[in-house]
Chain A
Amino acid sequence: DAGVTQSPTHLIKTRGQQVTLRCSPKSGHDTVSWYQQALGQGPQFIFQYYEEEERQRGNFPDRFSGHQFPNYSSELNVNALLLGDSALYLCASSPGGVGILHYGYTFGSGTRLTVV
């Protein structure tokens, strides 16, 4: 049973460019969340998608946007890249449903983005 798959694994972009990261959730999961993990820090929540809509958003600017497709896969888009956007971007999937606190997330191995 495949877990969460993220692509690409590594990416180098130039300041000002745009980037798209992709995530396929674990089989049976319909909710996808994205996290940014700067070097030496814990992951920070960007946003979550459920039923193709953004359900919750963390403290990130509008340059960060996303999309969820009917097959539950998701994309994270970042526009006008800054040097500070360099980080490991983690995708996590979970079974859907509001208030189901005991379901843990399954994380992918992440996409390491370097902005130069």
Chain B
Amino acid sequence: AQKITQTQPGMFVQEKEAVTLDCTYDTSDPSYGLFWYKQPSSGEMIFLIYQGSYDQQNATEGRYSLNFQKARKSANLVISASQLGDSAMYFCAMRDSPGGGADGLTFGKGTHLIIQP
């Protein structure tokens, strides 16, 4: 069963607009972490933001915020005031501990975001 689902293969957004990238996840473990990464054409995965399953507040990092809806198993990334440099692939990922100590990340298929001037 797919554990991370990103339903938007591609998005076009006007510069300076806010954008929401969708992510739903599936896990039976009560303890898990959710991550968003940005991957420009250079290939490097750049960490953007983290949300823990027990965190009471939504995570924020500068222009990035995470809309965490635990009951719906949703962890959408919101980018405010988008910039041309935000154009890239964006991946949602999860780390859970089904057996304790399992640290591999499970990634979604990604969303290709293109910011238009």
Which A residues lie at the B interface, using CB under 8 A? 31, 33, 35, 40-45, 47-48, 55-56, 58, 88, 90, 92, 94, 98-99, 101-102, 104-110, 112
Contact = CB atoms under 8 A, between A and B. Distances in A.
Given A42-B91, A56-B101, A99-B100, A112 B43 contact: yes
Given A101-B33, A105-B47, A107-B44, 14 more contacts: A33-B103, A41-B109, A42-B108, A42-B110, A45-B106, A48-B103, A58-B104, A90-B43, A101-B31, A102-B50, A108-B44, A109-B42, A109-B43, A112-B43
Most buried by A among B35, B44, B53, B97: B44
A60 B91 CA distance: 21
**Minimum-distance CB pairs A-B, first 7:** A42-B107, A45-B104, A107-B45, A98-B101, A101-B33, A109-B44, A110-B43
Interface of B: 4, 31-33, 35, 37, 42-47, 50, 52-53, 91, 93, 95, 97, 100-110
B43 A88 contact: yes
A43 B91 contact: yes
Nearest to B99: A56
Given A56-B102, A92-B45, A101 B95 contact: yes
Contacts of B110: 41-42
Contacts, number: 76
B92 to A, nearest CB: 9
B96 to A, nearest CB: 8
B103 A31 contact: yes
Contacts of B4: 42
29 contacts: A33-B105, A41-B109, A41-B110, A42-B109, A42-B110, A43-B107, A44-B107, A45-B105, A47-B104, A48-B104, A55-B101, A55-B103, A56-B101, A90-B45, A94-B103, A98-B101, A98-B103, A99-B31, A99-B100, A101-B31, A101-B32, A101-B52, A101-B95, A101-B97, A104-B35, A105-B47, A106-B47, A108-B44, A110-B43
Residue in B47, B105, B108 whose Cβ sees the most chain A Cβ within 10 Å: B105
Nearest to B49: A104
